[in-house]
Amino acid sequence: MIEIEVLGNKDTRSGFGEGLLEVGKKNKDVVALCADLTGSLKMDAFQKECSDRFFQVGIAEANMIGMAAGMTVGGKIPYTGTFANFSTGRVYDQIRQAIAYSKKNVKICASHAGLTLGEDGATHQILEDIGMMKMLPNMTVIVPCDFNQTKQATIAIADHKGPVYLRFGRPVMPIFVKPDAQFVIGKADTIIEGSDVTIIACGHLVWKSIEAAKVLEAQGISVELINMHTIKPLDKEAILKSVAKTRCVVTAEEHMINGGLGDSVAQVLIQNDLVPQEFVGVNDSFGESGTPMELMTKYGIDTQNVVDAALKVIQRKK
Amino acid sequence: MDTIELQKIASQVRRDIVRMVSAVNSGHPGGSLGCTDFLTVLYFDQMNHNAANFTMNAINEDVFYLSNGHISPVWYSVLARSGYFPAAELGTFRKLSTRLQGHPSTDKNLPGIRMASGSLGQGLSNALGTCQTKKLNGDKSIVYTLHGDGELQEGQIWEAAMYASANKVDNIISTIDYNGRQIDGDVEDVLSLGNLSQKWQAFGWEVLSVDGHNIDELKAILSKARTMTGNGKPIVIIMKTEMGQGVDYMVGSHKWHGVAPNAQQLEIALNQLEETLGDY
Q: What is the pLDDT of residues B55-114, one digit of tens each?
A: 999 999 999 999 999 999 999 999 999 999 999 999 999 999 999 999 999 999 999 999
Tens of pLDDT along B224-236? Answer: 999 999 999 999 9
Quick check: A73 and B130 CB within 8 A? yes
Residue window 85-114, chain A: list those with CB within 8 Å of chain B.
93-94, 96-98, 101-104
Q: What is the pLDDT of residue B216?
A: 98
Record: contact B137-A74, CB cut-off 8 A: yes
pLDDT at A206: 98
- What is the C-alpha separation between A264 and A154, in angstroms, rounded? 23
Q: What is the ipTM of this complex?
A: 0.97
Chain A residue with minimum CA distance to B106: A102
A47-76 residues touching B, CB cutoff 8 A: 52-53, 55, 57-58, 60, 62-76
Residue A166, phi then psi, degrees to nearest 5: -115, 120
What is the C-alpha separation between A22 and A20, in angstroms, rounded?
5
Q: Shortest CB distance from B133 goes to which of A52, A71, A93?
A: A71
Distances in Å between the Cα of A130 and the Cα atoms of A91, A110, A124, A203, A227 are: 14, 11, 15, 11, 16
Q: Is A82 in contact with A64 (CB distance < 8 Å)?
A: yes
Q: What angle do CA B124, B128, B130 make, to 5 degrees?
A: 120
Q: How far is CA A69 from CA A108, B126, B154, B227, in A?
A: 11, 6, 18, 27
Q: How far apart are CA A275 and CA A273, in angstroms?
A: 6
pLDDT of amino acid A16: 98
Residue A81 confidence (pLDDT): 98
Assess whether pLDDT exceeds 90 at residue A29. yes
- In this structure, what DSSP letter does residue A146 have? S
Res. A253: pLDDT tops 90: yes
Do residue B57 and residue A94 have CB atoms under 8 angstroms apart? no
* pLDDT attached to residue B5: 98
Separation of alpha carbons A234 and A242, rounded Å: 14
- A132 residue type, one letter: M
Mean pLDDT of chain A: 98
| Cβ within 8 Å of residue B260, ≥6 positions away | B21, B22, B24, B25, B26, B27, B29
Query: What pLDDT, in 10s, does the model give residues B162-174?
Result: 999 999 999 999 9
**pLDDT tens digits for range B204-248:** 999 999 999 999 999 999 999 999 999 999 999 999 999 999 999
Report whether pLDDT(A303) > 90. yes
Q: Contact at 8 Å (CB) between A141 and A84?
A: no
Name residues whose C-beta falls within 8 Å of residue B195's C-beta, 6 or more positions apart in sequence. none
Task: For residue A23, give the H/E element and its range.
Answer: helix A12-26
Residues B277 and B8 sit within 8 Å (Cβ to Cβ): yes
Average pLDDT in the A151-174 region? 98
CA distance A177 to A181: 7
> How large a percentage of chain A has pLDDT more than 90?
99
Q: Supply the pLDDT for residue B181.
A: 95
Q: Give the one of A74, A93, A98 whose C-beta lies nearest to B57's C-beta.
A: A74
**Cα distance from A138 to chain B (closest Cα, Å)?**
11
Given an 8 Å threshold on Cβ–Cβ distance, is A31 in contact with B119? no
Alpha helices in chain B (DSSP H): 3-24, 29-34, 36-41, 72-82, 123-136, 155-166, 187-191, 196-202, 215-228, 263-271
Letter for the amino acid at B85?
A: F
Span B99-146, pLDDT tens digits: 999 999 999 999 999 999 999 999 999 999 999 999 999 999 999 999
Instruction: Report helix, strand and coil shares of chain A as percent, to nearest 5.
Output: 40, 20, 35
pLDDT of the residue at B253? 86
Test the B interface: residue of A29, A52, A55, A67 with most B CBs within 10 Å: A67
Minimum CA–CA partner of A57 in chain B: B163
With CA atoms as reference, the chain B residue closest to A95 would be B122
Chain B residue numbers with beta carbons less than 8 Å from the beta carbon of A52 are: 136
Q: Residue A114 contacts by C-beta under 8 Å, 6 or more apart in sequence?
A: A84, A125, A126, A127, A169, A203, A204, A254, A255
Chain B within 8 Å of A78 (Cβ-Cβ)? yes
Q: Could A76 and B133 be called an inter-chain contact, meaning their C-beta atoms sit closer than 8 Å?
A: yes
Q: Is B105 within 8 Å of B130 (Cβ atoms)? A: no
pLDDT of residue B254 exceeding 90: no
For A49-208, strand residue ranges (E) read 54-56, 77-83, 107-111, 140-142, 164-167, 172-175, 189-192, 197-201
Contact A281, A260 (CB under 8 A): yes
Shortest alpha-carbon distance between residue B107 and chain A (Å) = 6
* pLDDT at residue A113 greater than cutoff 90: yes
Binary contact (B125, A66; C-beta < 8 A): yes
B68, B132, B143, B144, best to mutate vs chain A, most A CBs in 10 Å: B132
pLDDT for A318 equals: 77
Q: What is the mean pLDDT of residues A10-38?
A: 98
- Mapped onto helix, strand or coil, the DSSP state of residue B266 is helix
